[in-house]
Amino acid sequence: MSLTVLADHDLTSANTLGLACRAERFVAPRSAAELGEALALACRSGWPTLVLGGGSNLILPATLPGLVVQPALRAWWLEEAEGDAVRVHVEAGVVWHELVMALAERGLWGLENLALIPGHCGAAPIQNIGAYGVELAEVLEAVHLVRLDDGREAVLDAQACGFGYRDSVFKHALAGRVVITRLVLRVSRRGEPRLGYGDLARRVGASPTPLEVAEAVCAVRREKLPDPAVLGNAGSFFKNPVVSAERAAALRAVHPDMPGYPLADGRTKLAAGWLIDRCGLKGWRDGPFAVHDRQALVLVHHGGGDAAGLLAFAASIAERVERRFAVALEREPRLVGEGEGET
């Protein structure tokens, strides 16, 4: 067998929260053939299998039994489509931010608002990643995958992915059942900048290029968000809660400065970071975990903590928000064990 399987492999640096974790077995297949070998080996051996991407949106336990598979398939290429459209074929192991910047440098529109989101491309559909008014669902055409149980390949179109706000079929019916191997995205040589969120508009000129928008997004994110290479974090720890328009109006009557974003279905998306901040929790630290002092939506790990401690810390924040605003916060990173899939 050409595949290299490592025993008792340290995954502490493979998750952006920096939680100490060791995998009983670990493999990083560099091709579809090696991936097939790894899955077949796990199936024959009866090993539970976890597929790991960039480790940017998950909470790891101290040990992981079975086999951890981290695809290292890193090719991507362009395909001309009709009109100004261009299809991007990208394998799961490509770093998302590197893809975004490469496309922006080529003058291609579609992904620029999603710059500097950590993780690998294979994980992007699971979370339906989004930022600054754009979601992956808007540009994704298809997801290529392999089933863990029998190694069969399949292709899902965007509709079959069941995309929602930070949600997809990969968190539900397909959780722990497939490995995402490749995405097909649709971008364009012509486009209009999406500058309605944050202060992006003031950071760019009247007719910005995709690269200028991407660089502005990077600047904003770097000002507000900690670098996980320096301070462990998983980005936004809570989803922005969505409430009815009536509930939003009632909250705004009491809190006139409360931000809210109307959705197409009539509901309103609230800013979880604002709710946490108004509870006086920005910068609050309890042992190894803290609320970031510049962005209350981000929980940071100073080292020495574990998954149980992080979940307890997050629960105390959610409890205070619910007590003050009667709004429930939902965790965004996935806890390994709730459903195994690409992360």
**Secondary structure tally for the chain: helices H, strands E:** 8, 21
Q: How many CB atoms lie within 10 A of CB 160?
A: 14
Q: Which residues of 80-103 are buried (b: 16+ CB within 10 A; e: fewer)?
A: eeeeebbebbbbbbbebbebbbeb
The pair phi, psi for residue 210, each rounded to 5°, is -55, -40
Q: Which residues of 51-61 are buried (b: 16+ CB within 10 A; e: fewer)?
A: bbbbbbbbbbb
- CA angle centred on 176, ends 173 and 178, rounded to 5°: 85
Cα 340 to chain center, whole Å? 15
Residue linked to tokens 């192991």: 93
Query: What's 153-178 look like in SS3?
Result: EEEEECHHHCCECCECHHHCCCCCCE
Report d(CA 197, CA 212) in Å as an integer: 15
Beta-carbon contacts of 258 under 8 Å, excluding residues fewer than 6 positions away, are 251, 252, 270, 271, 274
Active site residues: 166, 236, 332
- CA angle centred on 231, ends 69 and 132, rounded to 5°: 80
Query: Sign of dihedral through CA atoms 330, 336, 339, 341?
Result: positive
Residue linked to tokens 């959610």: 318
Report d(CA 321, CA 331) in Å as an integer: 13
User: What's the start-to-end Cα distance of the chain, in Å?
Assistant: 26
Report d(CA 333, CA 343) in Å as an integer: 9
